[in-house]
Amino acid sequence: MNKAISNYIETNQQRILSEWIDITRSTAEDRVLRLVSDQVFVGTSKEFIDLIISNIKDSNEEFESKLSDFAEKVVRLGWPLNFVTKGLHTFAQIVFEEMKKEGIVNQENQMELVYEFDNWVTPMNNEIVSVYSRTWERTVSLQKIALQELSAPLIPVFDGITVMPLVGTIDTERAKQIMENLLNGAAKHRSEVVLIDITGVPVVDTMVAHHIIQAADAVRLIGAKCMLVGIRPEIAQTIVNLGINLNQFTTKNTLKKGIEAALEITNRKIVEMEGEK
Amino acid sequence: MDIQSCVTIINEWDIVAARQLGRNVAKELGFGTVDQARITTAISELARNIYLYAGKGQICIDKLNENGKVGLRINAADSGPGISEIRQVMEDGYSTSGGLGAGLPGVKRLMDQFDIDSSPGNGTKIIATKWLR
């Protein structure tokens, strides 16, 4: 790191910061500014400048831990990456312009200083991008795991009766899981009737229907009966329009009716107690 | 025809994005829940066809307003292998991927107008329209 640059930044820290905030605010997209309050914006900006300065002063390790903290925070705030990298670029530009104005940069050392600047900014830029993408990757993979956990639970409700409530979009990956959980669970709980509840499935297209039909066929093979419940009126209409044949299923519009029917199949029913208040 | 918005279909999640877009536009235009479900299902079928057979393509949603008639148009376009026997794929139960084979004929029944233009090597273009009643 060039001594001239670092000295200049350190002595003029305050001025550079306020100028940086002005420029950034005027050029930033509305989306970014709408996302955060003024206070948070100024606070985070200060932190960002501190970070850049820490790159000059502190050891590498310290800088890296600060940077990853910062990246995490920015990801949480929802600031776009290009906003941060642009911010860094703006910072370097301000410093360079100011130094030029004050005559620290002149014709002779210009090339050399540009080179120095590049050497200072580029690694920092790369580091920010890599930390940023790592943080995102982690967030995405955590969400994926979270999604998988709630993807296809099988719930035993009575002896021989189990329910699989499906919520959300069904893709190939999930369809596979549904099939697996359904078969394993049905065998484990010795289910006679398995109810698949699709109240929470927004769209039933031919692929989803196909997967459900396959799952039901497989359940039948292991000796249980499959019932499709939670068919909303609009879904019923689209299924008819699509020409999907669900004749081999017992279908009900609510889980409640499905459970009543399932109890009937297993020769039981729910009765109200008499003689109680 | 005025506003058009598009979703590029590359992976399975783009299918969700496309039908979300369709549902929002349908809601905006005042379609009821049944027609919303029809439109989103049609988009889902078309987007899945792109994903399965062409690998990459685009779904565009137009808002239509012709002589006071309001409608929604789905444009599905890809430059995949194309379809050689259009008559066959429009028949119920025909599938090359082991599916139900209800996709395209189903979309035709879900929507009011349906046009398909495809030949081997030239990709596939499908335009489907639903009018607000």
Q: Is residue A17 domain-shared with residue A132, that is, in the same domain?
A: yes
What average pLDDT score do residues A96-112 get? 79
Instruction: Assess if residue A55 is contained within a domain.
Output: yes
CATH number at residue A245: 3.30.750.24
Please state, as a whole number, how many other Cβ atoms lie within 10 Å of the Cβ of residue B62: 19
pTM of the entire predicted model: 0.74
A248 occurs within a structural domain: yes
* Nearest residue of A to residue B14, measured between CA atoms: A171
- Amino acid of residue B121: G
pLDDT at A32: 63
Last residue of a domain, one of A122, A148, A174: A148
Q: Are residues A125 and A51 in the same domain?
A: yes
Of the two residues A48 and A175, the one the predictor is more confident about is: A175
CATH number for A112: 1.10.490.10
A46 and A107 co-located in one domain: yes
> Is A242 within 8 Å of B44 when comparing Cβ atoms?
no
Residue A71 has pLDDT above 50, yes or no: yes
Question: Do A144 and A197 belong to one domain?
Answer: no
Domain shared by A138 and A27, yes or no: yes
Radius of gyration of chain B (CA): 14
Which one of A206, A232, A235 makes the best mutation probe of the B interface by having the most chain B beta carbons within 10 Å?
A206
pLDDT value for A144: 84
How far apart are the CA of B2 and the nearest CA of chain A, in angstroms?
25
Q: A57 and A106: one domain?
A: yes
Apex A183 CA angle, A181 and A187, nearest 5: 115
Last residue of a domain, which of A84, A118, A148? Answer: A148
Query: Among partner residues B19, B34, B106, which is closest to A237 by beta-carbon distance?
Result: B34
Residues A65, A108 share a domain: yes
A60-77 and A38-57 are packed helices; what angle lies between their axes, rounded to 10 degrees? 160
Mean pLDDT, range A118-124, rounded to an integer: 80
Q: Does residue A60 sit in the same domain as residue A82?
A: yes
A12-50: string of b/e by CB count within 10 Å (b at 16+)?
beeebbebbbeebeeebeeebeeeeeeeebeebbebbbe
Structural domain boundaries, residue A177: 155-265
**Same-domain check for residues A180 and A118:** no
Residues 196-225, chain A, touching B (beta carbon < 8 A): 202-207, 209-210, 213
Q: Cα–Cα distance between B83 and B124 in angstroms, integer?
A: 7
> Is residue A30 domain-shared with residue A164, that is, in the same domain?
no
Q: What is the DSSP string of A182-236?
A: HHHHHHHTT-SEEEEEEEE-S---HHHHHHHHHHHHHHHHTT-EEEEE---HHHH
* Residues B99, A171: C-beta atoms closer than 8 Å: no
Per-residue model confidence (pLDDT) at position B4: 66
Residue B1 has pLDDT above 50, yes or no: no
Contact B102 A244 (CB under 8 A): yes
Residues A105 and A178 in one domain: no
Domain count, chain A: 2
A118, A119, A232, A259 from B76: Cα distances, Å: 46, 48, 27, 41
pLDDT digits (tens, 9 = 90+) for A128-180: 788 888 888 888 899 888 877 777 888 999 999 999 999 888 888 888 888 99
Structure tokens at A4: 């001239």
Whether residue A122 sits in one domain with residue A189: no
Return the pLDDT at B72.
Answer: 94
Reported for A146-151, long-range contacts at CB under 8 A and 24+ positions apart, including other chains, are: A148/A177, A151/A177, A151/A178
A223 C-beta neighbours (distance < 10 Å), count: 11
Evaluate whether residue A40 is within a structural domain.
yes
Checking if the pLDDT of A35 tops 70, the result is no
Superfamily covering domain B4-131: Histidine kinase-like ATPase, C-terminal domain (3.30.565.10)
Distance from CA of B115 to the nearest CA of A (A): 17
CB contact under 8 A, A203 and B37: yes
Confidence of residue A256 (pLDDT cuts 50, 70, 90): very high
pLDDT in tens, A152-164: 888 999 999 999 9
pLDDT in tens, B84-113: 888 888 888 888 877 777 789 999 999 999
Q: What is the pLDDT of residues B34-87, one digit of tens each?
A: 999 999 999 999 999 999 999 999 999 999 998 889 999 999 999 989 988 888
Q: Give domain status of residue A272, yes or no.
A: no
Residue A270 within a domain: no
Share of chain A above pLDDT 70, in %: 93
